[in-house]
Amino acid sequence: MLLAVVAMIFLVIFQIAKASEYVNVLKGEKKSREQANRINAFLMLGFLVVGLAGAYWCHKVLEPQTLFPQGSASKEGEQIDFMFKVTLTVTGIVFLATQICLFVFSFLYQEKEGRKVFFLPHNNKLEMIWTIIPAIALTVLVVIGLRHWFKITGDPPKNAMVVEITGQQFGWTYRYPGADGVIGKRSYKLINPEANNGLGQDWNDKANLDDKMPTKMFLVKDKPVKLVIGSKDVIHDVGLPHFRLKMDAVPGIPTTLWFTPKWTTKEMRERLGNPDFEFEIVCDQLCGQSHYAMRGVIEVLTQEEFDMEMAKVKPNYFAAFPDKDPANQKPAEAAPADSSKSVTKAGGAPTGKTSR
Ligand SMILES: [Cu+2]
């Protein structure tokens, strides 16, 4: 059916073309060319008006569907939004000016009896103007962007918390430093999912014993967070659209990024009138078959709520060594603090079993 319609349309166009060819022969070639020229000149103006109206209409319809109207959910992201708007304004002005010139000039300087072509082979002044002005504009934009880049990839404020996020095909693992504030060492050689050590935590490093790995990323409102980003296989990318940030997750090269959440998840749900709203992590690097499914959830809480949530999460050490978990021990026995002696022995154990 569709094919028949397409074939019919082609046939109609073909017939019209053929008919107009015969008309041209009857009218004389020069006259019909002049007429076609005039029609095309007016069509140029039509394209300009329809095109600009279309661009404006698309903006009206699509802009509310983007994340722009809800504002940046991080303080650092406000600067990104600002830069985005400046870039759009500058390029928008250039776009309007060039498009209007292009189509209006085509109309104004259409073929006319007695008009001669003005020949302009070279003009140094003109070359200077259209090289130097864009160069200055782009330099300003790049310098503003670079300053911000150095800020968010540099040292975070003193009160910042640290969260490690590791990508793999296809999901994210979040690791918190625990009470000591230090994230334990890890090595790809120690990765052993069967022994509940998916990140390759080195159990000889005491800093690992209290590291917690919740299934969501919990953050605290108004508290800067530094993400230490890594990958276990291919290049992924921690995309944080609500916070206006993203950073590649590269195997073997930890990358960092810090930002400050502005609203809790609860506040965001009220602001947007959407009780199901979640801050999302999306993988922004095409990383394989189930790339689209690499969704992570960030829950922004108040400090008290955060402390309560984290208290519910057990250190991963207890998942790797269930017998060290005080919950599995007789009440008479002591807390895991003195288990560190036997850790030395247990620490090396997963290496032998590693499948890689
Ligand atoms: Cu990915």
| DSSP state letters, 304-338 | HHHHHHHHHSPBHHHHH-GGG-GGGS-TTSPPGGG
Model confidence band, residue 115 (pLDDT cutoffs 50, 70, 90): confident
The CA distance from 85 to 78, in Å, is 11
Looking at residue 179, its pLDDT comes to: 79
CA of 79 to the centre of ligand 1 (A): 26
Looking only at the bridges linking them, the beta strands covering 295-301 and 217-220 are: parallel
Protein residues with C-beta less than 5 angstroms from the ion ligand 1: 236, 283, 287, 294
Give residue-wise pLDDT tens across range 287-326: 988 899 899 999 999 999 988 888 888 887 877 777 777 7
Looking at residue 18, its pLDDT comes to: 85
Amino acid at the residue 261: P
CA of 289 to the centre of ligand 1 (A): 9
Model confidence band, residue 110 (pLDDT cutoffs 50, 70, 90): confident
Q: Are 299 and 219 in contact (CB under 8 A)?
A: yes
CA of 135 to the centre of ligand 1 (A): 36
CA of 214 to the centre of ligand 1 (A): 19
Looking at residue 258, its pLDDT comes to: 94
The answer to whether residue 285 scores a pLDDT higher than 60 is: yes
Model confidence band, residue 349 (pLDDT cutoffs 50, 70, 90): very low
CA of 231 to the centre of ligand 1 (A): 9
Which residues are CB-neighbours of 343 under 8 A, at least 6 positions away? 203, 204, 206, 209
CA of 285 to the centre of ligand 1 (A): 6
Among the residue ranges 17-26, 78-87, 174-183, 268-277, the one predicted with the least confidence is 17-26
DSSP collapsed to 3 states, 200-252? CECCCCHHHCCCECCCCEEEECCCCEEEEEEECCCCEEEEEHHHCEEEEEEEC
HSE at residue 216, side-chain half, CA atoms within 13 A, is 16
CA of 152 to the centre of ligand 1 (A): 22
The answer to whether residue 239 scores a pLDDT higher than 70 is: yes
Q: In what order do the strands lie in the sheet containing 255-259?
A: 171-175, 161-168, 225-231, 255-259
Which of the 8 DSSP states describes residue 188?
G
Give residue-wise pLDDT tens across range 29-50: 778 888 888 899 999 999 999 9
CA of 200 to the centre of ligand 1 (A): 19
* SS3 at position 177: coil
Looking at residue 101, its pLDDT comes to: 93
Looking at residue 331, its pLDDT comes to: 57
CA-based nearest residue to 83, from 72, 95, 94, 70: 72
Q: What does the pLDDT average to over 322-341?
A: 59
CA of 286 to the centre of ligand 1 (A): 6
Looking at residue 340, its pLDDT comes to: 44
The CA distance from 320 to 195, in Å, is 6
CA of 229 to the centre of ligand 1 (A): 12
The answer to whether residue 60 scores a pLDDT higher than 70 is: yes
CA of 246 to the centre of ligand 1 (A): 12
Model confidence band, residue 352 (pLDDT cutoffs 50, 70, 90): very low
